[in-house]
């Protein structure tokens, strides 16, 4: 299987500060990446995605950066709010025409301090 | 629009018992997936389906069976439950093709004693 790992298992930030969550992946053939947010007791929720032909994508308060050279993905959350407290997963996918088999990292727990 | 719905939400089984987890999606997605989530291990793919009547093995398929008799439903069966199958199970679905995100259900917490 693929190896998708996160550099930090936990992250605490002050409300209003920016958060950066990192992710390393090992499959150089992966061509699609997603960040999911999982709140306690709930299923993962899509936050933002990026294709391998891009190196940056922005959403509302979130930015994903992709560095294919070092196989690194990051999620930046601007002006972090208490509602951002959750576990964040990166997932990678290689298009093999056999279904979208996403491989997930172990997750980073983000705690926002009011 | 309910999205992806899993039943039941919680279940306790005795070792050796069998059960079926039901997943239903109303988004007309072609692909469906079953994952398990264990502490410190992220989500691991058990089985998946790319269409009605077709299923395939994922990373951790042993001890599980699946069926996709209708496009909107994907069933996960445990033939003889073991304590190692204590986990939170998530169903997901997505459109066919590359570069499409998966939508997840709320999960089923299964405890095998």
Each residue of A15-51: pLDDT tens digit? 999 999 999 988 888 889 999 999 998 999 999 999 9
Alpha-carbon distance of A79 to A73, in angstroms, equals 20
User: B3 CA to chain A: closest CA distance, Å?
Assistant: 12
Mean pLDDT by 10 residues, chain B (113 residues): 91 97 97 91 91 93 97 97 97 87 95 97
Alpha-carbon distance of B25 to B28, in angstroms, equals 7
Is A99 in Cβ contact with B43 (below 8 Å)? no
Would you tell me how many other CB atoms lie within 10 Å of the CB of residue A9? 11
User: A42 CA to chain B: closest CA distance, Å?
Assistant: 5
- Asked if the C-beta of B4 comes within 8 angstroms of chain A's C-beta atoms, the answer is yes
CB contact at 8 A, A31 and B97: no
Alpha-carbon distance of B65 to B68, in angstroms, equals 11
Is B99 in Cβ contact with A43 (below 8 Å)? no
> Measured between beta carbons, which residues in chain B are less than 8 angstroms from residue A41?
106-107
User: What distances in angstroms separate CA A70 from CA A26, A33, A74, B101, one per listed residue?
Assistant: 9, 15, 12, 24
pLDDT for A1 equals: 31
């Amino acid at each position: 299987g693929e190896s998708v790992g996160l550099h930090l298992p936990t992250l605490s930030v002050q409300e209003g500060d920016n958060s950066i969550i990192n992710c390393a992946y090992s499959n150089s053939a992966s061509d699609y990446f997603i960040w999911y947010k999982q709140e306690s007791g709930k299923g993962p929720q899509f936050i933002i995605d990026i294709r391998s032909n891009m190196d940056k994508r922005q959403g509302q308060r979130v930015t994903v950066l992709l560095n294919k050279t070092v196989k690194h993905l990051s999620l930046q959350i601007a002006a972090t709010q208490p509602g951002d407290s959750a576990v964040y997963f990166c997932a990678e996918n290689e298009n093999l025409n056999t279904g979208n088999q996403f491989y997930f990292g172990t997750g980073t727990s983000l705690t926002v301090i009011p | 629009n309910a999205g992806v719905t899993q039943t039941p939400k919680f279940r306790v089984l005795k070792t050796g018992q069998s059960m079926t987890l039901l997943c239903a999606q109303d988004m007309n997605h072609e692909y469906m997936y079953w994952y398990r989530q264990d502490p410190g291990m992220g989500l691991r793919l058990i089985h998946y389906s790319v269409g009605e009547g077709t299923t395939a093995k994922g990373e951790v398929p042993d001890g599980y069976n699946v069926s996709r008799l209708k496009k909107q439903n994907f069933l996960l069966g445990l033939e003889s439950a073991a304590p190692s199958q204590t986990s939170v199970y998530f169903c997901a679905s997505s459109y066919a093709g590359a570069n499409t995100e998966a939508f997840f259900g709320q999960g089923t917490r299964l405890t095998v004693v």
